[in-house]
């Protein structure tokens, strides 16, 4: 006997081409986020892009160039918009094909609920279960909010998607779906982290000295936070917890090494809480039907008030620049957009409010441009157009390969002094001169070599 859910499923199955025909000029379209890019639906929509105009495409962190964008080389029919830039969006932005949506990440679902009108949601999911639910896989984030606000909900079923337990909002029911497209079961994105550099190891070593037994970890994207995870796995730290926006491969290593138990967490005890995951099959297989992992919308994982409920929260995030006023830029270099606010501001605030919590802003002391010229990442002031991601009033710890400094409660003079002390020695003298010109330096003060 066919269940009523299965009957609904079969009634709602259509081809990707038929789904694409439902898109109208002027529509706002949401593609599912991160590793869950809806490839088959995107390909079908690209086939008829020349028939449409004034389309707006939204997602969070495009992991491939949408075919609808490739099919519109003069960008006459569609423009992409992204809530968090990565390599794909940076490239598209350089070609005037993609624009950033500024957001304090934990507010994303609320912003969507209050202000966003979306016409079509095209979302990848795991196959329907016996009770009629489709699982959103390793991406919760803002997807449930977009599904709630979309007039037309089209799912692309992918058997490669792991079934990720909640938390909450990790599923959508067949009753709430308009159409189902059976996809080509593409493998999920395999995100390999870049090999850590020597300065990453040095920065990670400073952070390791600050982590205590029972700490609750948040690790941002990038090789350095992953490196910290690897070092923790090899340490003797005990009873660590995880409450993060992004689950990564190193979390698997930490769990399998016995470092993560979650036994000292005050909320979601014993659970590795996250909003999205990006990594390799090692991570996706670990997450599949694993009750240790708990998927939540970003309005929960990244709410500073929720974060602070756990003790000893350790938040580890990267930055592009820090100026002598202690402002942090993590998303743009001048007018060129690089990344996004993401959860950095959320977790810096949450970690500070956590009992014993510590929020770390990490960056190499220098970078080298395409002409081989070395520049300091600790600068007198930001480039014109650079975005302040974390205001100086909220910065706690800043770390480079030359040291770690805590800035809370310090005056502009003390902050400048501390930041110059962890700048590359080659730039310290000119930074002192700049601080004097900015009137944030005591002239008799010296930086020890």
Active site residues: 245
Tokens of 370: 């395409």
What's the rounded Cα separation, in Å, for the pair 439 and 330? 26
What are the backbone dihedrals phi and psi of residue 271, each rounded to the nearest 5 degrees, phi first? -105, 145
- Residue 233 vs residues 215, 252, 269, 343, 444: alpha-carbon distances, Å: 14, 9, 20, 24, 45
Tokens of 265: 């967490």
What are the backbone dihedrals phi and psi of residue 295, each rounded to the nearest 5 degrees, phi first? -90, 130
**Other CB atoms within 10 Å distance of the CB of residue 91:** 14
Reported as type and span, the H/E element at residue 7 is: helix 4-12
What's the rounded Cα separation, in Å, for the pair 275 and 41? 24
CB-CB contact of 250 with 233 (8 Å)? yes
What's the rounded Cα separation, in Å, for the pair 240 and 259? 6
Tokens of 329: 């830029």
What's the rounded Cα separation, in Å, for the pair 391 and 229? 27
What's the rounded Cα separation, in Å, for the pair 123 and 44? 14
CB-CB contact of 306 with 348 (8 Å)? no
**30: closest CA among 102, 122, 92, 98?**
122
225-246 exposure pattern, b = at least 16 Cβ within 10 A, e = fewer: bbbbbbbbbeeebebbbbbbbb
Query: Which residues, in sequence order, are bridge partners of residue 272?
Result: 242, 293
What's the rounded Cα separation, in Å, for the pair 274 and 251? 11
């Amino acid at each position: 006997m066919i269940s009523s859910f299965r009957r609904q499923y079969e009634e709602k199955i259509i081809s990707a081409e038929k789904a694409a025909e439902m898109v109208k000029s002027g529509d706002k379209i949401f593609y599912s986020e991160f590793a869950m890019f809806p490839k088959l639906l995107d390909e079908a929509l690209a086939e008829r892009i020349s028939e449409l105009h004034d389309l707006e495409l939204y997602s969070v962190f495009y992991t491939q160039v949408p075919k609808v964008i490739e099919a519109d080389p003069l960008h006459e029919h569609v423009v992409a918009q992204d809530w968090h830039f990565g390599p794909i969006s940076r490239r598209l932005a350089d070609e005037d094909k993609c624009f950033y949506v500024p957001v304090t990440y934990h507010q994303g679902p609320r912003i969507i609920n209050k202000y966003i009108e979306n016409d079509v949601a095209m979302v990848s999911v795991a196959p329907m279960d016996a009770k009629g639910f489709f699982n959103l896989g390793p991406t919760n984030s803002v997807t449930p909010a977009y599904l709630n606000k979309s007039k037309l909900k089209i799912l692309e079923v992918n058997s490669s998607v792991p079934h990720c337990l909640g938390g909450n909002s990790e599923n959508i029911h067949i009753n709430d779906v308009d159409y189902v497209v059976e996809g080509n079961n593409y493998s999920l994105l395999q995100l390999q982290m870049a090999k850590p550099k020597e300065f990453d190891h040095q920065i990670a070593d400073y952070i390791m000295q600050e982590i205590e037994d029972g700490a609750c970890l948040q690790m941002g994207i990038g090789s350095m936070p992953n490196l910290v995870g690897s070092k923790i796995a090899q340490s003797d730290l005990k009873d660590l917890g995880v409450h993060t926006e992004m689950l990564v491969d190193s979390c698997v290593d930490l769990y399998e090494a016995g470092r993560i138990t979650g036994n000292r967490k005050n909320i979601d005890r014993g659970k590795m809480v996250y909003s999205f995951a990006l990594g390799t099959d090692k991570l996706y297989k670990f997450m599949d039907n694993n009750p240790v992992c708990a998927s939540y919308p970003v309005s929960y994982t990244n709410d500073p008030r929720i974060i602070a409920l756990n003790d000893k929260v350790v938040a580890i995030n990267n930055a592009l620049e820090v100026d002598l006023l202690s402002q942090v830029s993590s998303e743009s270099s001048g007018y060129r957009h690089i990344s996004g606010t993401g959860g950095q501001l959320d977790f810096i605030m949450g970690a500070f409010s956590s009992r014993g919590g510590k929020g770390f802003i990490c960056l190499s002391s220098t970078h080298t441009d395409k002409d081989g010229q070395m520049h300091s990442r600790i600068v007198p002031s930001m480039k014109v157009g650079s975005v302040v991601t974390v205001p100086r009033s909220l910065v706690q710890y800043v770390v480079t390969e030359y040291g770690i400094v805590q800035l809370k409660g310090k005056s502009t003079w003390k902050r400048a002094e501390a930041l110059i002390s962890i700048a590359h020695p080659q730039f310290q003298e000119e930074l002192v001169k700049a601080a004097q010109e900015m009137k944030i330096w005591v002239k008799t003060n010296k930086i020890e070599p």
